[in-house]
Amino acid sequence: MVDTKTAILDAAEHLFSSKGFDATSLRDINAIAQVNLAAVNYHFGSKDGLIQSVLERRIVPLNIERLRLLDQCEARLGNDALPLNEILEALIAPAVRLSRDPKAGGEDFMRLLGRLFIEPNPKVQTILEALFGETGRRFIKALKQSLPNLPEVELFWRVNFATGAMAHTLCDTSRLEFISGGVCDPNDAEGIIHRLVAFIAAGMREPVSATHTL
């Protein structure tokens, strides 16, 4: 065992992403990590401490990469309204791409990220606000500048819809493949990025007063 802490984090990430936080026991984790039952409490203090470490390990670098892309975009095009698709890609692409890197958790991380936003565990929600709050506000500000004619209330609703589309896509790796009869490949990261950005951008740009059916 080269590194007990890493083995625990990997096993916990795998189980949290597939079974959920509450349904995963420390005994499940330690059985996969091949470590002693007391190891989690020794290295992370408690199960809550473990959850915190599992999330931090992935989300902190993810948000750094997201903000780096956004900064890079602003440096190239100035501080005014950025192209909508570039903002969305800075938000979405790092999440999907990191999910293809086996060293960054692979598809376990993908599902973990998707699951977070609907996870009812209050501890998880507290951790989430601390980890995503600042990054989220940066992106909302950029979206506001990119869509100056969209009323703020509509922007918030659409960001919420976009979050749901993204989270569900990240979380669900099997149902779509099943429903589509194998037509859709959940491992096609670049395809997912392209399709998600296009879908969300179209919804974001839709004129607000389109009540009537086509």
**Binding site partner of 206, from a second copy, DNA, none, Cβ cut-off 5-8 A by kind:** a second copy
Of positions 43, 57, 100, 123, contacts DNA by CB under 7 A? 43
Site membership for a second copy, residue 214 (CB under 8 A)? yes
Distance between CA atoms of 179 and 164, rounded to whole angstroms?
19
**Binding site partner of 26, from DNA, a second copy, none, Cβ cut-off 5-8 A by kind:** DNA
Of positions 84, 93, 108, 189, contacts a second copy by CB under 8 A? 84
Name the residue nearer to DNA (CB basis): 47 or 111: 47
Phi, psi of 61 (to 5 degrees): -65, -35
Site membership for DNA, residue 48 (CB under 7 A)? yes
Site membership for a second copy, residue 45 (CB under 8 A)? no
Specify the long-range contacts of residues 115-123, CB closer than 8 Å, at least 24 apart.
Answer: 115/16, 115/17, 115/20, 115/167, 115/171, 116/55, 116/167, 117/163, 117/164, 117/167, 118/167, 119/20, 119/21, 121/21, 121/22, 121/51, 123/48, 123/51
Of positions 8, 59, 91, 201, contacts a second copy by CB under 8 A? 201
Report the 10 Å Cβ neighbour count for 177: 15
Site membership for a second copy, residue 22 (CB under 8 A)? yes
**Both tokens of residue 187?**
């491992």
Distance between CA atoms of 68 and 62, rounded to whole angstroms?
10
Site membership for DNA, residue 35 (CB under 7 A)? yes
- Residues 68-127 within binding reach of DNA (CB under 7 A): none
Name the residue nearer to DNA (CB basis): 1 or 75: 1
Distance between CA atoms of 108 and 116, rounded to whole angstroms?
12
Distance between CA atoms of 33 and 60, rounded to whole angstroms?
23
**Both tokens of residue 168?**
């569900």
Of positions 12, 29, 171, 189, contacts a second copy by CB under 8 A? 171
Of positions 27, 76, 103, 212, contacts DNA by CB under 7 A? 27
Q: Footprint of DNA on this chain (CB under 7 A)?
A: 1, 4, 24-28, 35-43, 46-48
Q: Footprint of a second copy on this chain (CB under 8 A)?
A: 18-20, 22-23, 83-86, 89, 114-115, 117-121, 136, 140, 152-154, 156-169, 171-172, 175-176, 179-180, 183-184, 192, 194-196, 198-203, 205-206, 210-211, 213-214
